[in-house]
Amino acid sequence: MKIQTILAAGAMTVAAVAAQNAQAGAVLDGIKAKGFVQCGVNTGLPGFSAANAEGQWEGIDVDVCRATAAALLGDANSVQYTPLTAAQRFTALQSGEIDILSRNTTATTTRDAKLGLTFVGINYYDGQGFLIPKALGVSSATELDGATVCVEPGTTTELNLADYFRAKGMSFEPVVIENINEATAAFFSGRCDVYTTDASGLASIRTQMAENPDDYAILPEIISKEPLGPVVAQGDEQWSDVVRWAFTAMIEAEEYGVTMENVDDMKANSTNPGIQRLLGVTPGMGEALGLDEAWAYNIIKQVGNYGESYEKNVTAKLGLERGLNALWTDGGLQYAWPVR
């Protein structure tokens, strides 16, 4: 906690200085000059950002960076990745080591306001849940009084857990294990009754680590809100606009049904004014953002729309359905601001 306080204090000082010094467009100009986007990613979280067997970064967080590069530079591969730990991530952004942080980062008031950051969108709505063995005979988190809970230390997960049990007037016994492999091993060997982390993590642990996934269940209660999204440093609004709209274009494309496959056809033949605006058939959007008119076309052609990115990374790797991350028209929360 102490380290975090000191870090936060240091970060705030720098943020204040950085805000004064930053000139509009400094980051954007820097990226154009060097020819690539420097993107901070997780050191390894399957589905979000992880290296594949060929050492290439993949995941929905990685796709945000790729989309930004496609919009700004015309090539989704013009991205360099800096893997960062949770402790390093904000420093790296504030010191200018990276241009964009796309590392399953929860948007909160303190981070947005005090650390001098701008959250440009939410690319994954997550929340903390509980995984239990079905043999425990529990169907709701409210029945967990007195349970032994396996949890990773030093995360908001641990705090949320304590908050939840206190609010419900229940007691629990935490088993705090740093390493996720050991923590899950402890859970599956019966060392604790419950395992808690973000729901996306629980699903992948259940499907991939359990001997028999059907023996385990995720309880319906989600005890916290974890809106995860890409972040940039404050001070270059033009740059944060580019990232925001590059990400928005991915959702907008899914809403219009424009995919990697049919984007050329749509560009040539679609009579829908919204699609024409998005793909630059009707010019104006690119100019407004200071980008090439083909910005959104490049994103969809090279990275795909949000649904494709989700399917390819999250569903394929973690076996997770869309859930909260479905489009608003399908009962989810993903709702693109109109590109017009």
Give me the residues that bind other proteins (CB under 8 A), please. Answer: 3, 6-7, 10-11, 13-14, 17-18, 21-22, 43-47, 50-57, 80-85, 87-88, 91-92, 94-97, 181, 204, 207-209, 317-318
Amino acid at site 191: R
- Nearest distance from C-beta of residue 230 to other proteins, angstroms: 18
148 closest CA partner among 106, 118, 189, 110? 189
- Nearest distance from C-beta of residue 67 to other proteins, angstroms: 20
- Contact by Cβ (8 Å): 245, 164: no
CA distance linking residue 281 with residue 274, whole number of Å = 10
- Nearest distance from C-beta of residue 303 to other proteins, angstroms: 19
- Contact by Cβ (8 Å): 31, 74: no
Amino acid at site 153: P
Nearer to other proteins, 100 or 223 (CB): 100
Nearer to other proteins, 180 or 327 (CB): 180
Within 13 Å and on the Cβ side, how many CA atoms surround 11?
24
Tell me the C-alpha to C-alpha distance, in Å, between residue 163 and each of 12, 156, 168, 169, 192. Answer: 27, 10, 9, 10, 19
CA distance linking residue 240 with residue 232, whole number of Å = 6
Nearer to other proteins, 73 or 84 (CB): 84
CA distance linking residue 162 with residue 21, whole number of Å = 41
Tokens of 63: 């796709």
- Nearest distance from C-beta of residue 157 to other proteins, angstroms: 18
- Contact by Cβ (8 Å): 135, 180: no
Nearer to other proteins, 131 or 300 (CB): 131
Nearer to other proteins, 41 or 144 (CB): 41
- Nearest distance from C-beta of residue 198 to other proteins, angstroms: 14
- Nearest distance from C-beta of residue 129 to other proteins, angstroms: 17
152 closest CA partner among 181, 115, 121, 112? 181
Nearer to other proteins, 46 or 229 (CB): 46
- Nearest distance from C-beta of residue 223 to other proteins, angstroms: 23
CA distance linking residue 259 with residue 254, whole number of Å = 7
Nearer to other proteins, 57 or 310 (CB): 57
Amino acid at site 257: G
